[in-house]
């Protein structure tokens, strides 16, 4: 049976309903009171992620045998959406930890690596980072400059990665490095590098437009010596591993975007009913009501695409095209909905006294991170034309 002929299953299970309720209560208690302070100061609230670990949300997809919650993508998407409705920054960090670093080890790590790292990542004791992007090689990862040179039973890493979520605060990073000539197929390998390893340091922290409470920083390797036991899988398999990891990562960003879009829409809908002009709520004007109709329709389409990709992933199907479609549509929807949300709020939408401006700033990252919208179109077009 092909993906096209497989029915979508998104009936909400008891687990999904419980997670949604739990996350909403957590957000009201632990995020809402301080989120604008974190945004203004770019403070990364590490303690929030320890608490999320206590709720089982730092290892949603990790099997129970490795200390995780053992859930599927329906539960995972729901958690990311609900967090991101409140604060995209927290949603982004939660997504990066789960779908990149943790998931890379889960999918491709040895049994020893899984038992060593997954329980600490899933519990929130450790925070994970994932290093692929470099200053001169974003989408062009085949030409990365970070190298890993074998020296006996060790590898020596040299180079730098940028735009890394948790680049400073992460306790462990999965890093992609070149183990062969530039531009040659099969020349990239993946390694687990612990914080504190000599030669592994953090660099510049980025000053960002949005997602300001999610830490983004450079990581640097200078004669960083790690044992060969830190290699994930076989030498040269890193790029193939990364592409599989990004299939799940795109579902994560779609979920993040869906949450931001939903939050922006709900805030605008509420405001449109409360704000009166000419002795009636502005929601009664066609110019506003049609905006709300468009917003709601796009969000529902993004929701279906995202949960469909997650459903296929849970069933072990190939999801490269579906995850790219979900990521592309949901992220562009988030930008459009957040923009319309600011417009509905009018002048107040441009102030920090109302939530519209933060959704607007946070949404844009979704069209860039883990593959730009243009790259998603490339992935989709290759799939439908082959």
Is residue 370 part of the annotated active site? The answer reads yes
Residue of 262, 260, 297, 287 lying closest to 343 (CA atoms): 287
Share of the chain above pLDDT 90, in %: 92
Rounded Cα distance, 364 and 339, in Å: 10
Which pair of tokens denotes residue 175?
A: 């890093």
Tokens encoding 254: 């779609």
DSSP string for residues in 249-317: HHHHHHHHHHHHHHHHHHHHHHHHHH-EETTEEGGGSHHHHHHHHHHHHHHHHHHHHHHHHHHHHHTT-
CA distance linking residue 281 with residue 271, whole number of Å = 9
pLDDT score recorded for residue 9: 54
pLDDT (0 to 100) of residue 5 = 47
Say which range, 18-32, 141-155, 253-267, 272-286, has the weakest mean pLDDT. 141-155
Residue of 218, 223, 370, 374 marked catalytic: 370
Q: 231 has which bridge partners?
A: 191
Cα 240 from Cα 52, distance rounded (Å): 30
pLDDT-derived band at 182 (thresholds 50, 70, 90) equals: confident
**pLDDT value at position 181?**
86
When pLDDT is cut at 50, 70 and 90, the band that residue 185 belongs to is: confident
Nearest residue to 366 via CA among 340, 339, 327, 326: 327
Q: What is the phi/psi pair of residue 61, to 5°?
A: -95, -5
DSSP string covering 164-218: EETTTT-SEEEEEEE-S-TT-TT-EEEEEEETT-TTEEEEEEP--SS-TTS-EEE
What per-residue confidence (pLDDT) applies to 162? 96
Question: How confident is the model over 309-348, as pLDDT tens digits?
Answer: 999 999 999 999 999 999 999 999 999 999 999 999 999 9
Cα 78-80-82 angle, rounded to 5 deg:
65
Least confident of 4-8, 84-88, 245-249: 4-8
Classified as helix, coil or strand, 32 is coil
Minimum mean pLDDT range among 114-118, 184-188, 237-241: 184-188
In angstroms, the CA 271 to CA 274 distance is 5
Asked whether the predicted pLDDT for residue 201 surpasses 60, the reply is yes
């Amino acid at each position: 049976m092909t993906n096209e002929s497989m029915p979508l299953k998104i009936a909400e299970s008891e687990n999904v309903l419980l997670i949604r309720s739990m996350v909403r209560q957590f957000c009201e208690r632990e995020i809402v009171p301080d989120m604008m302070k974190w945004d203004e100061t770019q403070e990364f609230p590490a303690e929030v992620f320890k608490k999320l670990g206590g709720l089982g949300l730092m290892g949603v997809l990790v099997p129970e045998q490795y200390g995780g919650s053992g859930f599927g993508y329906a539960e995972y998407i729901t958690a990311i959406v609900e967090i991101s409705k409140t604060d995209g920054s927290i949603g982004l960090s939660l997504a990066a930890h789960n779908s990149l670093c943790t998931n890379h080890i889960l999918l491709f790590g040895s049994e020893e690596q899984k038992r060593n790292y997954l329980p600490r990542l899933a519990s929130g004791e450790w925070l994970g980072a994932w290093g692929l992007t470099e200053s001169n090689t974003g989408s062009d990862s085949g030409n990365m400059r970070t190298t890993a040179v074998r020296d006996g039973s060790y590898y020596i890493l040299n180079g730098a990665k940028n735009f890394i979520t948790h680049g400073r605060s992460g306790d462990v990073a999965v890093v992609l490095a070149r183990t062969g000539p530039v531009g040659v197929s099969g020349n990239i390998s993946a390694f687990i590098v612990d914080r504190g390893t000599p030669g592994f340091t953090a660099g510049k922290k980025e000053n960002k437009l949005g997602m300001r409470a999610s830490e983004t920083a450079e990581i640097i390797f200078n004669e960083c010596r790690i044992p060969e036991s830190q290699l994930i899988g076989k030498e040269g398999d890193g790029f193939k591993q990364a592409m599989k990891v990004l299939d799940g990562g795109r579902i994560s960003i779609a979920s993040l975007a869906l949450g931001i879009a939903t939050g922006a829409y709900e805030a605008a809908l509420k405001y449109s009913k409360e704000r009166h002009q000419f002795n009636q709520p502005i929601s009664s004007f066609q110019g506003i009501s049609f905006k709300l109709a468009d917003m709601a329709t796009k969000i529902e389409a993004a929701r279906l695409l995202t949960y469909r990709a997650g459903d296929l992933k849970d069933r072990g199907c190939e999801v490269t095209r579906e995850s790219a479609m979900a990521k592309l549509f949901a992220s562009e929807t988030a930008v459009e909905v957040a923009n319309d949300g600011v417009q509905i709020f009018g002048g107040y939408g441009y102030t920090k006294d109302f939530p519209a401006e933060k959704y607007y700033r946070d949404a844009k990252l979704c069209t860039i991170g883990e593959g730009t919208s243009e790259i998603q179109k490339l992935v989709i077009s290759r799939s439908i034309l082959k």
